[in-house]
A and B are shown apart, each in its own frame.
Chain A
Amino acid sequence: MTDAVVTAGHGDETAAETAERAIDEKTYGFWIYLMSDAIIFALLFATFVVMSHNNADGSDRHTLFRLPHTFAETMLLLASSTTLGCSGAAMAAGQRWRTLIWLGVTFLLGLGFVTMEISEFYRMAAAGAGPWRNGFLSAFFTLVGTHAIHVSAGLVWIVLLGCEVTLRGLNPFVVSRLYRFGLFWHFLVIVWIGIFSVVYLPEIL
């Protein structure tokens, strides 16, 4: 075993090996990041549930939300998950422009979602139900707002990725970034389903 101990028998490190390893590690690290982000959302959910009856001034929570609006938002986000999947399929087939087009569609759907969220926030604040009114509304705006901030960050990310796909094509690094973006986006869709079920449905039903 003597020589085996000191001579591991690896050859020169090649750029390709280094790259492959970096991509593998980044993907694994990103999963762990998503878990820590899941904890942030879990605590915001818990806070919301604890505070869901803290509408100190008795404002009627049942009139605050509008089901058709939220339903449309949900549909936009679910559709964006699907179109991102189409983009991934195009990417796997090495079709650069098709990848870009589906990314663009995903961007537009995500933008529509964020726009609708902002309009809902604006409508509520204008009606006197802003986050400063009571604990329940603070928890609502913070939970849903944190999700909106995540989706907005995702939109910036899509733009950057789009530029990269255009300029550099589908090299392994770009592909791995698209993959991690996919994880992030689908994660946000799952969180939204949680928000829809925990925040909106009980108020409407």
Chain B
Amino acid sequence: MLGKLTIDALPFYSGIAMGGALIVVLGVLGVVALVTWLGQWRYLWTEWLTSLDHKKIGIMYVTLALLMLVRGFIDAMMMRTQQAVALNSDGYLPPGHFDQIFTSHATIMVFFVAIPFLVGLFNVVVPQQIGARRVAFPFMNSVCLWMTTAGAALVMISLVIGNFSTAGWNAYPPYSEAQFSPDVGVDYWIWAILLSAVGSMLTGINFLVTIVKRRAPGMRLMMMPLFTWATLCTNILMVFAFPALIVTAALLGLDRYLGMHFFTEGDGGNAMNYVSLFWIWGHPDVYILILPAFGVYSEVVATFSGRRIFGYESLVYSTVAITVLSLVVWLHHFLTMGAGADVNAFFGSAAPLIAIPTAVTIFDWLFTMYRGRVQFTVPMLFTLGFIVTFIIGGMTGALLAVVPVDIHNTTFLVAHFHNLLIPGALFGYFAGYQYWFPKAFGFKLEEKWGRRAFWAWIVGFCLAFIPLSIVGLMGMPQRLNRYYDASWQPYLIVAECGALFILCGIIFLAVQLAASIRNRAALAVSTGDPWDARTLEWATASPPAAYNFAVVPHVHGIDPWWAMKQAGAAANRPARFHDIIMPGNSSAGAALGAMSFVFAFAMVWQIWWLAAVGALGMFAAVLSQTFRDHAEHRIPASEVEAIESRRILAAPLISGVPT
């Protein structure tokens, strides 16, 4: 009846695991109680959960990312603490628990922090940046959000019921096979990954079509803002790379569920195939995470230097070159596997090539700042912090690409990819969050706490990862839950201090948000364009009306909003308003997400009847939407006019801005 699920699935095995489970359960109950107490269920349902408005979906994505960031960071803090104390001792975490933590930390950070964060930014920004009123497939957008959320929920519930994988975030076989990992941990991993991967692939299709088909009249490809370019390239990678992850996870699942022999020891299985398949997705994924951040940096640098971006075309070509190269270097993730000299030589030489377009982008940002009037706002601080620290990441990467240097699987590798993904991705998302927050909500985030957060993050980042590079070169393998070399410990204690600084960084970000909400009247942006920005998303109201643009603008070059301000046309009121057709709400997306969670949970525990219920539920949700061809509603011209009049009254200050 309940498959493998028994009372033993509750985490009685360790007090710490029990505590984690209690926090999750109490957190969920607390949110439910709070919403009930405030009487906001109807508001939440009609305005948010069933909304097909891309801005709201984007805000929900970013909220998911920030919540999961806290969870992922708690994992990191626990690991650093364990390694700081575990010299010649067990520390405070038993090995099985420690292994779950490093697995869930990475799985969460990649799939449920980075991906939702960047997709959230796409949603809030890209349609407005290209002068569109909506994305191409609003319902699919909602489905993607709720499937990603279901995947995150699956990882969270593994804290309470059963346990998570101990096989590392990449779940290499043969250890991840049923023979060596018979419990449900790897199954949780597989299903969380599958939900997230399908959601990401469909998001890729959605934004690819949106960018190709919904640009404002006159906006040619070589006029698109650089964040949109980065998004387009990211989406191409998502469409082409995520199928590989789906195949990888599915084949591992077939081995585990049906006793097949893709990656098993013996019987014709070959674990090396898994590693290759995994990284066919895995390496493009590095750029799926980094390119959107590059896009943010391009926008931020141009805006806060008060100049047109230097070398627009070279930035576009570099972004495209990175996209193409990222698809042909995956093997450098396992140069030590023994694929043969020729193969290693090809991939070992292809990998450093990516440094060329990357260097071009960095020089373009530097030349944009050169002789510009640089304003050191919080987004700009994150950008500058990125430029300085990313150099280290690039150089450690070049070292790792040298085939004969065997420092793979040491903490040097850990330091290297955190060097890429914290400044290269997360700082970019933070910069985007700070930069576009007033766009989404109509008031700025407070500067003071933002600066503090930045400094805490960058100091913490250096303290946490520079020591790991050093102990890595001293030979410390990654993922150790205890060790016997006393010379490593001082470095690991410094790294622990770094983690404490990052903790402060996260707290400061939370304080910043709370303080900004409190002072929102003082921080309000009445003109809708607080940064004197250049691209089209700032031409809409802040926060934007549901339809974004009352009249879709014509575009004649890059930086169209800047051109409109220069021409004194920014405040012009259109001669007349028109009816606008917008997508209505749909509860099918949330229903499908919920059913996908039921299905995946049932598959993890092999509760077959419940899995059938979940699968049928998903099918029904899709069916209810598929044949609805007229789900739109019409906003009459009079209503558009009323909304726009209120906006113009509220913002008398829009005018031509000095050069």
A1 at interface, CB cutoff 8 A: yes
Chain B: interface residue total (CB-CB under 8 A): 64
Residues in A whose Cβ lies below 8 Å from that of B258: 131-132
Q: Identify A5's interface contact among B270, B553, B575, B634, CB under 8 A.
A: B553
Q: Identify A135's interface contact among B217, B267, B553, CB under 8 A.
A: B267
Given A3-B569, A5-B553: A47 and B579 interface contact (C-beta under 8 Å) = no
B612 at interface, CB cutoff 8 A: no
Residues 210-229 of chain B, each 1 if its beta carbon lies under 8 Å from chain A, else 0? 00111011000000000000
The answer to whether A36 and B239 have CB atoms under 8 Å apart is yes
The answer to whether B578 and A51 have CB atoms under 8 Å apart is no
The answer to whether A25 and B137 have CB atoms under 8 Å apart is yes
Interface-centre pick from B212, B273, B552 (highest chain A CB count, 10 A): B273
A97 at interface, CB cutoff 8 A: no
Residues 162-204 of chain A, each 1 if its beta carbon lies under 8 Å from chain B, else 0? 0010000000010000000000000000000000000000000
A39 to B240, CA, bound (A): 7
Residues in B whose Cβ lies below 8 Å from that of A60: none
A10 to B637, CA, bound (A): 12
CB distance from A177 to the nearest CB of B (A): 9
The answer to whether B209 and A25 have CB atoms under 8 Å apart is yes
A2 at interface, CB cutoff 8 A: yes
Residues in B whose Cβ lies below 8 Å from that of A37: 243
Residues 562-584 of chain B, each 1 if its beta carbon lies under 8 Å from chain A, else 0? 01100111001111001111000
Residues in A whose Cβ lies below 8 Å from that of B216: 8
From 11 to 27 in chain A, residues with beta carbon under 8 angstroms from any chain B beta carbon are 11-13, 15, 18-19, 21-22, 24-26
A173 to B629, CA, bound (A): 7
From 238 to 279 in chain B, residues with beta carbon under 8 angstroms from any chain A beta carbon are 239-240, 242-244, 246-247, 251, 254-255, 258-262, 264, 266-270, 273, 277
Chain A: interface residue total (CB-CB under 8 A): 52
A29 to B575, CA, bound (A): 35
The answer to whether B270 and A13 have CB atoms under 8 Å apart is no
Given A12-B579, A50-B270, A132-B261: A40 and B247 interface contact (C-beta under 8 Å) = yes
Given A36-B205, A142-B254: A1 and B579 interface contact (C-beta under 8 Å) = no
The answer to whether A8 and B240 have CB atoms under 8 Å apart is no
Residues in A whose Cβ lies below 8 Å from that of B251: 47, 142
A43 to B575, CA, bound (A): 56
A4 at interface, CB cutoff 8 A: yes
The answer to whether B574 and A6 have CB atoms under 8 Å apart is yes
The answer to whether B260 and A36 have CB atoms under 8 Å apart is no
The answer to whether A15 and B136 have CB atoms under 8 Å apart is no
The answer to whether A15 and B572 have CB atoms under 8 Å apart is no
Q: Identify B270's interface contact among A7, A54, A141, A164, CB under 8 A.
A: A54
The answer to whether B268 and A55 have CB atoms under 8 Å apart is yes
Residue in B closest to A12 when the chains form the complex, CB atoms: B579
A71 at interface, CB cutoff 8 A: no
A135 to B569, CA, bound (A): 67
Q: Identify B567's interface contact among A1, A21, A32, A138, CB under 8 A.
A: A1
A15 to B581, CA, bound (A): 8
Given A2-B568, A13-B581, A18-B632: A40 and B575 interface contact (C-beta under 8 Å) = no
B646 at interface, CB cutoff 8 A: no
A136 at interface, CB cutoff 8 A: yes
Given A135-B261, A138-B260: A11 and B578 interface contact (C-beta under 8 Å) = yes
The answer to whether A1 and B556 have CB atoms under 8 Å apart is yes
CB distance from B141 to the nearest CB of A (A): 12
Residue in B closest to A5 when the chains form the complex, CB atoms: B569
B234 at interface, CB cutoff 8 A: no
Residue in A closest to B247 when the chains form the complex, CB atoms: A43
A45 to B267, CA, bound (A): 20
Given A28-B209, A142-B260: A135 and B269 interface contact (C-beta under 8 Å) = yes
From 534 to 589 in chain B, residues with beta carbon under 8 angstroms from any chain A beta carbon are 551-554, 556, 560, 563-564, 567-569, 572-575, 578-581
B289 at interface, CB cutoff 8 A: no
Q: Identify B569's interface contact among A2, A11, A15, CB under 8 A.
A: A2
B492 at interface, CB cutoff 8 A: no
The answer to whether B572 and A135 have CB atoms under 8 Å apart is no
Q: Identify A51's interface contact among B266, B268, B556, B581, CB under 8 A.
A: B268
Q: Can you list 8 A-B pairs, Cβ within 8 angstroms, ordered by A? A: A6-B564, A7-B572, A26-B137, A29-B136, A29-B208, A50-B270, A56-B261, A135-B269
- List the 8 shortest-distance A-B pairs measured between CB atoms, nearest first: A135-B268, A54-B268, A138-B260, A56-B268, A12-B579, A134-B268, A132-B259, A39-B243
Apart from A12-B579, A142-B260, what are 7 other A-B pairs with CB-CB below 8 Å?
A32-B205, A32-B209, A36-B242, A39-B243, A133-B267, A135-B261, A142-B262
